[in-house]
Amino acid sequence: MIKLQYLVSMLVLAVLAGFSAGAIFNRGSFTAADPTTNPAIDEQTTFKCVHGSSGWSTVAERGNAVSKTPMITWNSEEFGDNWTPQDRCHQVSERLTLAVTNNGGQLLGLDLTHGRVNQLTVICVVNSRQQTCRENNVLFTLSQKNAPTPRTTIARIIDFSQGQDVSPIDESDYPQYFTLKSWVDRHLPHSSGF
């Protein structure tokens, strides 16, 4: 059973590896929280890019705890030498960390969703379910292969975070949201300050 879960997890991550981080994340539009006035910043969740046996991966980290399961692996070479898996991994990990910092160091209230920006299908981070994807909150651009089914991509992330088998969902025009806190809570020990 564990091998089956591992295989399903790797399949999900392989699908996610086909994504590209868009270069349109605008840092200037965010106001970072001041760590000197917010002691919780010291223990905020950050996202790191690490290299392991399955390639480049984005993992969550809080204090001394690091998620054993990657959130996303980056293995696709389809974007060429100018946008390598390592580059995408570092950019998306940095963008996720910046989103947490800009949310007062908290995961609560941050969601992943999908939308279209500059005529590209993207995954983005929002702090309100009334928000949509904009140039300043894009995490990554979906590959041409995955762009037609962004809801399936979000569903795979949700299913993976909940330890479920990956299953297809009905496509519709409504955006879907994935709570970052649920993924981190599942993959980092609760004793690490969650």
For residues 84 and 46, give the distance between their C-alpha atoms in angstroms, rounded to a whole number.
22
For residues 148 and 168, give the distance between their C-alpha atoms in angstroms, rounded to a whole number.
14
Tens digits of residue pLDDT in 67-80: 887 777 787 777 77
φ/ψ bin of 183: left (φ > 0), alpha (ψ from -120 to 50), beta (otherwise): alpha
Domain locations in the chain as residue ranges:
2-192
Tens digits of residue pLDDT in 114-144: 999 999 999 999 998 889 999 999 998 887 7
Tokens of 140: 């990554």
Q: pLDDT confidence of 157, banded at 50, 70, 90? A: low
Contact call for residues 55 and 85 (beta carbons, < 8 A): yes
Please determine, for residue 7, whether its predicted confidence score (pLDDT) is greater than 90: no
Return the HEC string of the chain.
CHHHHHHHHHHHHHHHCCCECCCCCCHHHCCCCCCCCCHHHHHCCEEEEEEECCEEEEEEEECCEECCCCCEEECCCCCCCCCCHHHHHHHHHHHHHHHHHHCCCCCCCCEEEEEEECCEEEEEEECCCCCCCCHHHEEEECCCCCCCCHHHHHHHHHHHHCCCCCCCCCCCCCCCCEEHHHHHHHHCCHHHCC
Q: What is the structure's pLDDT at 1?
A: 37
Q: What is the structure's pLDDT at 156?
A: 65
Q: Does the global pTM surpass 0.75?
A: no
